Amino acid sequence: MNPDLLLDRQRTFFATGATLPLSFRLEQLERLRGALESHEADLFAALRDDLHKSERDSFLTETALCLTEISFIRKRLARWMKPKRVPTPLTHIGSVGRIYPEPYGSALILAPWNYPVQLAIAPLIGAIAAGNCAVVKPSELTPRVSAVLARLIGDTFPADYIAVVEGGVDASEALLAQPFDYLFFTGSPAVGRIVMEKAARHLTPVTLELGGKSPVIVHRDADLAKAARRIAWAKTLNAGQTCVAPDYLYVHEEVKKPLLAALREQANAFYGSDPLRHPDLTRIVNERHFRRLVSYLDEGRVVFGGGYDEATRAMELTVLEAMDADSAVMQDEIFGPILPVLTYRDLNEALAGIRSRPKPLSLYLFTESREMARRVLRETSFGGGAVNDAVYHLASPYLPFGGVGTSGTGSYHGRASFDTFTHYKSVLHQTSRFDLPFRYPDSKAGLGLLRKLMK
């Protein structure tokens, strides 16, 4: 459908007020839940085709998170939608202040390829809950998932309300040229800058969910067995193609050797001694990304791993050391199952290294010291993260998810999803029973009285 016509139709539908009632929003969320469940087999098959993702990972990281989000929001939506009364100052005696949540209108959601179901549907849930119309643009790099999403949405909602637009860069550019009322983008910082520039032409508010080099710190007092298991899981999940995956590791020099041994052991436990042949190992999405990852293997010394299969684009968990600070693997977001390892003797070294880089989307710390945790959280800036875990914070609807600086702007999940797609309209309800004369130019009140009232 022509983007101009599509947006016009959605604005016409939005103007009817049909999306505003609580009952309508709840019904649409329930319809979306039903559609996800009824199309689950097709989604899983498409994820298998595009990314070779296992059914377990497809459920855990794609549909389950969306279903949980719907349930969480539906139970709380009535409360979130209510206007909130706020106090008024002494100068406003007789009046009442209220904040009214209202939808923006029509939202454009640009989804990425790495979690092509979750990262398209999760923001859509927020847009629906907030009372918006929406256009979803899935990634062309996962074409089978894109086709299923188009069918799922098309079978469930009229395009005047919710629509999917498939296609490549040209389709995205055509949509970005339209004056949508809100724009939600998930992807790389480089493309995020382009999206923000396009949105600025229409002064469209944006949420940018980007990425960066997310560090993990393992201190000498950490539970190394659990740290290794959780880091290995976080780094191999989706073949490392996760915006919050550990991108590089700082480990205290005293525990480097046992930690790396434990990481190797966990990699074998997850995917066996021949991981490239494991039936559930997720693949790298395309040849370009695969070649980029292979090139990183020459930029350090392989501690373990390093295997890959060109025919299937499979790559095993690989730990590197002795990287040059200016190498691509230490400058780029890796987005694959390669983990560079750095050591430190004093925590100041690790913190200085982290602070020398752009603010990351996530940070993970493994330590048994509460003081250590307080210090790291106090002295580093990042979007979100975990102490003694990695990536798992993403699954809590109580924790807003988003970046800071070049790793993104804005957040979502749970209440934050509703807030993101909601404009909060402030209104003063003034009394007509009396009038306070001090604000008018013919008032006899002296400046001293005004100063007291305005403090």
Report the 10 Å Cβ neighbour count for 300. Answer: 20
String of b and e for 191-221 (b: at least 16 CB within 10 Å)?
bbeebeebbeeeebbbbbbbbbbbbbbbbbe
243 is catalytic: yes
Strand boundaries in 275-404, DSSP class E: 301-304, 308-309, 314-315, 318-321, 338-344, 362-366, 384-387, 401-402
Cα separation, 237 vs 348, whole angstroms: 30
Question: Residue 249 half-sphere exposure, CB side, CA atoms within 13 Å?
Answer: 30
Unique residue bearing structure tokens 């982290």: 354
Cβ atoms of 238 and 114 closer than 8 Å: yes
Closest among 214, 251, 228 to 363, alpha carbons compared:
214
- Helical segments of 59-137, H only: 64-81, 118-129
Cα separation, 203 vs 190, whole angstroms: 20
- Our measurement of the distance from residue 55's CA atom to the centroid of its chain's CA atoms, rounded to an integer in Å, reads 22
Cβ atoms of 66 and 118 closer than 8 Å: yes
Closest among 372, 391, 408, 414 to 60, alpha carbons compared:
391
Out of 40, 62, 69, 243, pick the active-site residue. Answer: 243
Cα Rg of the chain, angstroms: 25
Strand boundaries in 322-390, DSSP class E: 338-344, 362-366, 384-387
Cβ atoms of 105 and 204 closer than 8 Å: no
Out of 40, 62, 69, 209, pick the active-site residue. Answer: 209
Unique residue bearing structure tokens 């549907």: 121
40 is catalytic: no
Cβ atoms of 117 and 43 closer than 8 Å: yes
Where in the sequence numbering do the catalytic residues fall?
209, 243
